[in-house]
A and B are shown apart, each in its own frame.
Chain A
Amino acid sequence: MQCLAQGDAKRGEYLANAAGCLGCHTGTQKDAVPYAGGRALKTPFGTFYGPNITPHREAGPGRWSEADFIRAMREGRRPDGANYYPVFPYPSFTRIADADLRDLWAYLRSLPQVNRASEPHELGFFFRWRLLLWPWKWLFFTSGAFQPDPKATAAVNRGAYLVQALGHCGECHTPRNFLGGAKQGRFLAGARLADRDRSPNLTPTRLKKWDDKDLAYFLSSGLTPEGDVAAETMGEVIRNSTGKLTPQDLTALIAYLRSLSPLPDEPK
């Protein structure tokens, strides 16, 4: 690989897939333009809309510098200094390495500009107050790139990076407290969602029932070997992200999940 001062857009595309940017930053209608925003995400705090991230100067981050982008991802702050709501998963993205952030930015800069205005979020009165995010961040957010565990293998460290930083798997698979902060002691143990639905436990407690081959087939096709189909929330993640990982990265991701301490499921 060439060593470039500027980021590499080709690598950035692979990283953007691994980070699943497409999901929230693309509308759900059939003719929605990739990365032009519009996806609604309902949360207990209100409905958020994924913004346009194509490099349009008015409708998107076309005027941003690379440093602005890195600050957004690493610190969760806008170029004007205001905090993002953590629906933008910067508590995970803060762990992305500097070189990868530069490649991601190079890729986003290479996208066609789309003049589509982002929708304002629809939040409860109380939550519209962005200053509240300072104490939230103080409580639940630690900024800083991923640090490999010197005791773990290279594959497990690569898998940890894919899961914790890019893949932001914990955003759905780790339970949250009533303030929406992740319960770190229950990392990836599965979370309760609305209406008695839940995201599965990704620690060996549950995954030990599947061998590596089954898991790799599931994460690349959305199917179990028996032909059972993943729920569409994960189905989309598989089409956009895990299904596009290289075989080496998929193997690393699985090796990392296998290395986790088994945690019991959330109570019913």
Chain B
Amino acid sequence: MKKIMLAAGLMLAVTGGAAMAQVKPDVLVKQRQAVMTLQSKYFGPIAGMASGKVSPYNADVVARNATYLENLTQMAWDGFHENTQGQQNTKALPLIWSQKAKFDDLAQRLQAETAKLGALARARDEAGVKAQWGAVGKVCGACHDGFRAK
């Protein structure tokens, strides 16, 4: 029993350690930018179709994209580690770290609104998607105000 505990403890130390290993700040920046790029890729067509600027409305594409988006919106946030402050090649503004609570709240709201969009899209609820996509866009935009350089 003791041996098992010890082994489990060791495993935890090793895997935990690996997860905690400090990723280089410039890599974190690249990773979170990749998430943002993919969010754009999958949100763009939803917004285009839901607003009627792109037609016809394709419920299957909307459902797929909204589900991808639901997963993607969970991924960027640990990339805004404090050690990435002062990195080059990023539009992230220092307010992210000086107003961390507001930033985190917007991150939470984005995930909540995107989850709602995903559920509506998978239910093939076109009217629901058309009412909800704007809420997602507004949270995106709210965070781009003040937290992202123009």
A, B in one complex: yes
> Within 8 Å CB of B93, what residues of A?
195-197
The interface-forming segment of B11-19, B35-43, B77-85, B114-122 is: B35-43
Shortest Cβ distance from A56 into chain B, in angstroms? 30
Taken together as a complex, chains A and B put the C-alpha atoms of A227 and B93 apart, in Å, by 21
Shortest Cβ distance from A155 into chain B, in angstroms? 23
Q: Fill in one digit per residue for A174-199: 1 if any B CB lies within 8 Å of its CB, else 0.
A: 00000000000000001000111111
Q: Contacts A197-B150, A198-B149, A223-B47 known; A230 to B53 CB distance under 8 Å?
A: no
Do the beta carbons of B47 and A227 come within 8 Å of each other?
yes
Do the beta carbons of A232 and B43 come within 8 Å of each other?
no
Q: Contacts A195-B95, A223-B48 known; A229 to B43 CB distance under 8 Å?
A: yes
Q: Contacts A197-B93, A232-B138 known; A227 to B42 CB distance under 8 Å?
A: yes
Output the nearest chain B residue to A239 by Cβ-Cβ distance. B134
Number of B residues near A (Cβ < 8 Å) is: 26
Best-surrounded residue of A194, A195, A196, A227 (most CB of chain B within 10 A):
A227
Chain A interface bracket (under 10, 10 to 19, 20 to 34, 35 or more): 20 to 34
The total number of A-B Cβ pairs within 8 Å is: 73
Q: Contacts A195-B95, A231-B144 known; A226 to B149 CB distance under 8 Å?
A: no
> Within 8 Å CB of A235, what residues of B?
137-138, 141
> Within 8 Å CB of B148, what residues of A?
231
Within 8 A of A (CB), among B111-150: 137-138, 140-142, 144-146, 148-150
Do the beta carbons of B94 and A195 come within 8 Å of each other?
yes
Shortest Cβ distance from B54 into chain A, in angstroms? 9
Cβ 8 A contact of A200, one of B40, B45, B150 = B150
Q: Fill in one digit per residue for A184-227: 1 if any B CB lies within 8 Å of its CB, else 0.
A: 00000010001111111000000000000000010011111111
Chain A interface mostly: mixed
Do the beta carbons of B141 and A231 come within 8 Å of each other?
yes
Q: Fill in one digit per residue for A137-148: 1 if any B CB lies within 8 Å of its CB, else 0.
A: 000000000000
Do the beta carbons of B40 and A232 come within 8 Å of each other?
no
Output the nearest chain B residue to A220 by Cβ-Cβ distance. B53
Any chain A CB within 8 A of the CB of B67?
Answer: no
Output the nearest chain A residue to B46 by Cβ-Cβ distance. A227
Any chain B CB within 8 A of the CB of A228?
Answer: yes
> Within 8 Å CB of B108, what residues of A?
none
Taken together as a complex, chains A and B put the C-alpha atoms of A163 and B42 apart, in Å, by 32
Output the nearest chain A residue to B41 by Cβ-Cβ distance. A227
Do the beta carbons of B44 and A223 come within 8 Å of each other?
yes
A-B contacts, 9 listed (Cβ < 8 Å)? A196-B94, A198-B149, A223-B48, A227-B41, A227-B44, A227-B47, A229-B140, A232-B142, A232-B145
